[in-house]
Structure 1
Amino acid sequence: MSKAIIVGGGIGGLAAAVALIGRGWEVEVLERAGSIAEVGAGISLWSNALRALDALGLGDQVRARAIEEGSAGIRDSKGRWISRVDSEAIRTRFGSPIVLHRADLLDILHAALPEEVLRTGISVTAARTDGTVTHSAGTAKGDLVVGADGLRSVVRRAVSGDIEPRYSGYTAWRLVVTPAEPITELGESWGRGERFGFAPLSDGRVYCFACANMPAGTPGGGLAELRRRFGTWHDPISALLAAAEESAVLKHDLYDLPARKTYVADRIALLGDAAHAMTPNLGQGACQSLEDAVILARVATEDADLTRYDQERRPRTQMLVTRSRRIGTIAQLSSPPVVALRNTALRLIPASAQANSLAPVLDWTC
């Protein structure tokens, strides 16, 4: 039986474990954290990710904990429409995206694995292309090593050397709020160098996210800053922030990775953010990790040479990294005249063109 060592127990790492076990592999997942948990954040899964989850046999379980996303489009800070989305056309052509809490997705992936597969509290210090992994509890060796250890991947060094992530120019806040009044709508609003979005979860809570231009590593930035920046924006943004709690606020600078020549080296394959970290502007980060997991398990089982995985995944994911970065640049424009021009241009784009633009992203099959 072939053995895989997976470094990282996030969405991509756990999905890869499920996929490989389903194809008869022995799997060991090494996770630095003491437990598998993701707090304070929601996640959107588009139809391409749902196809990947269906291939893992978990699609129905995920759908049962989610609600269908029906975004109406983008507004300005006063609530005036900038861009409307033809949700019915998207639903008919691609299928509707869903929204759920990240913790629910991780729980489903974790529960699909035998208990002995996951080893928590293990810090990986090095990986070699012969399949050897050195970690805080010793060493492990596999026929396949999967680098699913995120933006600042240790495993990636064996494939690409030291790669410096690129700062996007803006930071993000994430929080889950229990609103005073039920909220069923969702949407995103753009200001000048700032954005705020929200989406209801299946349990009545609301996932909120915000972005603002600022230098990397800017200190502070809790609930008081969110209220200062967005507290006068249109309803229900002001009400959501009024109901928020300081302990729920997470703040992270946003980075992506520059394009590289390969995701593989001998027995090592990179997956998810370790391979192609992207800004969240397309909502495709986790979706692409799930795609990676399915394709990697298939290729590694069918062919000891991982080149085909690289050929299938690198062009697609690097296209999405570039596209997501471009959208972020447009969304984070801050000059008042340029913002006014952007908003006018977006209002002139027909909804059908928006649906067509999603085709390269969502028309993916296993």
Structure 2
Amino acid sequence: MRGGSVAVVGGSIAGSAFAGAAARLGAERVVVLERSPGRLEDRGVGLCTHDDRFDELVRTGHLAADTRRHRLTVRRWVTRGAAGEGDGPDGCGRLLWAQPFSFHSHHWGVLWQALRERTPGQVEFRLGTTVTAVGNGPGGERGNAWTENADGGRETYDLVIGADGYRSVVRAAVCPQAEPEYAGYVCWRGSYDSALLAGLPGGAAPWPEEHCVTVCYPGGQVVIYRIPGLEPGSTQVNWVFYAPTPAWLRLDGPTSIPAGSLTDARLDELRQLSERNLPPYWAGVVALTPRERTFLQPIYDLAAPHRTAGRLLIGGDAATVVRPHNTSGAVKAMQDAHAFELAGREAGSWPDLLAAYDRERTAAGRELVELGRALGRAQVTASPDWSGMDEPAMAAWWQHQLTGTGGFGGHALGRKG
């Protein structure tokens, strides 16, 4: 179908992908309403895409084949050596399994910029626009929808898409009963220029650039890999440290502790956690992270029971919050946008488009959330005794987690839920 006006609330990866999809469908007007006043390239979070999922997104036009990324081929699972065994001459611990790993890693800001550059020129981006409410106009799904901004102004559109993250204003209108549920643990996160590795004993030598490393300990794990830097040719270290809930953390709703705001005492808590549980080399990798690049993110689950209501639609983290273990967050967002675009090509009306999108992506989202929960149990909250694990045991343990899912790294594009 062609024509009509579309508002996209949120201009990050999901929002840019949906805006591009709406423009390609032939919407006469596409407006992206982003609350941040500036550009978003400085968001330094690392993420990964499975090689097959990346290739699918290139073939369908969502990403360019030359999108800057860092190749990963092996995932090394390691743990601290047993008493008297030590952590090896390089301080990297005992190798449990060298798992084949067909992924590429990305810098969030670099991937977002690649999506923005592919967004058709007619899309209007309004930065510094905070949407405080949305709703349906008269007529329900056969009518229109509206957005209201912080200044009280209202605008009407044929469709309003919520790509505004896990604290979504649009989701509150689509299904107010759906709220992110705390999973019971957190991840500390950080990133920095990989040149800093030279300050460690052995420098970067113990860590080949194509290796992702997962350091396991009772009650958590740290996933460490390199990502592209903002400048072409540069790389950064990126790590995600799953850990028990700190005693000081108070959760009265979905939240995170942003980079630069952690106190000395809380950063010291992270240092002690690293030294207590990680082999010396990997504790040193975490310790190199500057305060302004360190933050804490509680882990949540969310699977909205439906994704549309009248002329409102949600996608990305507004619709499903999946634990990072899945390695599928960005892929999920772009696949949501692709499913929306496919539904629009086949539909003869807005209600037909919304119904088709809802059927496919609601079911797929539920499956991804359930897989994330299973991976979280297996790897964090009910993890095995790592001291008794070896390569055959690790391979069997991994396969057991994925039995009947097929979703690690994201479902194949176009797969029905």
| TM-score grouping bracket, smaller chain normalisation | 0.7 to 0.9
How far apart in 2 are the matches of 1:162 and 1:212? 29
Structure 2 gap ranges (5+): 82-92, 137-143, 229-233, 251-261
- What SS does the corresponding residue of 1:349 show, helix, strand or coil? helix
Instruction: Give CA-to-partner distance per residue, 1:259-312, whole Å, 9 cap, x none.
Output: 443111121111011111111111112210010011112213432221110111
As a proportion of its length, which structure holds more helix?
Answer: 1
- What SS does the corresponding residue of 2:65 show, helix, strand or coil? helix
1:141 corresponds in structure 2 to 156
- What SS does the corresponding residue of 1:171 show, helix, strand or coil? strand
State the TM-score, normalized to the length of structure 1: 0.87
What is the one-letter code of the residue matched to 2:212?
L
Is the 8 Å Cα contact of residues 167 and 254 (structure 1) preserved in structure 2?
yes
State the TM-score, normalized to the length of structure 2: 0.77
How far apart in 2 are the matches of 1:351 and 1:196? 17
What is the one-letter code of the residue matched to 1:200?
R
How far apart in 2 are the matches of 1:141 and 1:83? 55
**Which of 261, 283, 296 is matched with 1:251 structurally?**
296
Is the 8 Å Cα contact of residues 224 and 237 (structure 2) preserved in structure 1?
yes
Residue 36 of structure 1 deviates from its aligned partner by: 3.1
**Which of 47, 65, 86 is matched with 1:43 structurally?**
47
1:109 corresponds in structure 2 to 115
1:125 corresponds in structure 2 to 132
Distance 1:353 1:254, change over 3 A: closer
Distance 1:340 1:116, change over 3 A: closer
Is the 8 Å Cα contact of residues 281 and 328 (structure 1) preserved in structure 2?
yes
Is the 8 Å Cα contact of residues 25 and 344 (structure 2) preserved in structure 1?
no
1:92 corresponds in structure 2 to none
Structure 1 gap ranges (5+): 88-95
- What SS does the corresponding residue of 1:332 show, helix, strand or coil? helix
Instruction: Give CA-to-partner distance per residue, 1:59-100, whole Å, 9 cap, x none.
Output: 3132xx11112232422244323444234xxxxxxxx32101
Distance 1:286 1:239, change over 3 A: same
How far apart in 2 are the matches of 1:190 and 1:320? 23
**Which of 386, 391, 394 is matched with 1:347 structurally?**
394
What is the one-letter code of the residue matched to 1:124?
V
Instruction: Give CA-to-partner distance per residue, 1:294-350, whole Å, 9 cap, x none.
Output: 111221343222111011111111111011012112222378xx5359847943618
Distance 1:354 1:214, change over 3 A: closer
Residue 171 of structure 1 deviates from its aligned partner by: 1.1
Instruction: Give CA-to-partner distance per residue, 1:177-227, whole Å, 9 cap, x none.
Output: 232234413211121112111111232321111111116861757432222
**Which of 33, 37, 44 is matched with 1:34 structurally?**
37
2:60 corresponds in structure 1 to 55
Is the 8 Å Cα contact of residues 171 and 253 (structure 1) preserved in structure 2?
yes
What is the one-letter code of the residue matched to 2:236?
R
Identity %: 25
Is the 8 Å Cα contact of residues 19 and 56 (structure 1) preserved in structure 2?
no
1:218 corresponds in structure 2 to 249
